[in-house]
A and B are shown apart, each in its own frame.
Chain A
Amino acid sequence: MTKMHIKLTVNGKAEELLAEPRELLIHVLRERLNLTGAHIGCETSHCGACTVEMNGKSVKSCTVFAAQANGAEITTIEGLGSPDALHVLQRSFREHHGLQCGFCTPGMITRAHRLLQENPAPTEDEVRFGMAGNLCRCTGYQNIVKSILAAASEINAAQEAAE
């Protein structure tokens, strides 16, 4: 089958590649662009481990064709922070034990990032509802919710201080 010329902006960087239309975005990110932060958990659109941001939406990248993503702006966990300069959410997950094995974490944090963009001061219920597309087998969610609420307060406090 003919390959398609695909252009993406990933974490602010322009990328071009040839891919079959049927290739899934998660495979393009992991195998062609070596961005292995987003994970493949269920492959059936349920677990959210593959969550990335596409054009300002949280999406399960196992359920998006490379062809559909042509022209899109994508943010992955690699685009949020780096080991020397962690994003507030990453730091908060570490401090509040929001992860154990860490498999769900990139998806959790990428999703939480979008959630806080849309709702900067969520209640606990809103966090739980907004994170409902991400499954975790380890933590029991309690500390994930705590990490996100703490990150939200920290971001809001920093913003108030700046104003």
Chain B
Amino acid sequence: MIPAAFEYHRPVDVTSAASLLRRLGDEARVLAGGHSLIPMMKLRMAAIEHLIDLQDIDALKGISIDGDTVTIGAMVTQAELIAHEGLAKVAPILREAALQIADPQVRYMGTLGGNVANGDPGNDMPGLMQALGAAFLLTGPDGAREVAARDFYEAAYMTAREEDEILTAVRFTAPPGGYAYEKQKRKIGDYATAAAAVLIGKEGGRVAHASVAMTNLSDTPVWSPAAAKALTGTDCGPEAIRAATEAALADIDPTEDNRGPVAFKRHVAGIIITRAIQRAWSRA
């Protein structure tokens, strides 16, 4: 499995990477950890003339926590997300989700930026970014802009990122309260049959605010405000959880594939969403 030939570039700053992207046009792609892109290139499902490797761009690395604002550079790897104690304190759901991605070798290489920019509905971070209401920072030849994660995904592998833009960082407000990322997969190293990210805040024994999102249950990650509404103001008892799960299931549109038929996926999704809500509430 040898990929087709390409020219290799390794710029040292974002501006040069963005101008390379503009100059080389749609024959160029950026390379982060390569653990989604290289498998596709080996299968010759992606024809790429130029690869722009981001590994030497220091500005894309590092995690900064300023009050409750968390900014994570696009080239931060999943292994680095897991190891970062400061991040685990303010937003432990990142570690919980990252530990459920692939296997150790993949996590050393795979980056947060690659995971969210890829556009594969199977990627776990995009669902989590819906729950967090994160913003994606993009830089193109004409400057920088921010796109809400909830507006970023258009269809499988189609995102709001322009072809000559680089995703430089992900930014979000550290979520107060309980959290859970629950994932059902067939084996380690598999993408989700269904996964859910849930954040819940508690006040006076009731749900003060909630956010519910799901992975690999549509051609884009799904954020379900209806599920959050079904929880808000309740005691998060069985009735409320049942209503929230139903509301979340009304927002998904899974398709049949090697992980099972639609009815099975809906069944698994229901269990995963319920468990995620229960666990987030138990930690709230």
Residues on A facing B (Cβ under 8 Å): 1-2, 4, 20-22, 24, 43-46, 48, 51, 57-60, 63-65, 67-68, 70, 111, 115, 130-133
Contact = CB atoms under 8 A, between A and B. Distances in A.
A58 B5 contact: no
A132 B51 contact: no
B42 interface: yes
B6 A21 contact: yes
Contacts, number: 80
A130 B10 CA distance: 31
A134 B4 CA distance: 27
Contacts of A133: 102-106, 188-189
Contact of B5 (A20, A44, A51, A59): A20
Contacts of A21: 5-8, 51
B74 interface: no
A68 B79 CA distance: 18
Nearest to A1: B5
Contacts of A2: 7
11 contacts: A1-B6, A1-B7, A20-B5, A24-B2, A51-B105, A58-B105, A65-B38, A67-B8, A70-B10, A132-B103, A133-B189
B226 interface: no
Contact of A63 (B35, B53, B79, B188): B35
Interface in B55-80: 55, 79
Contacts of A111: 104-105
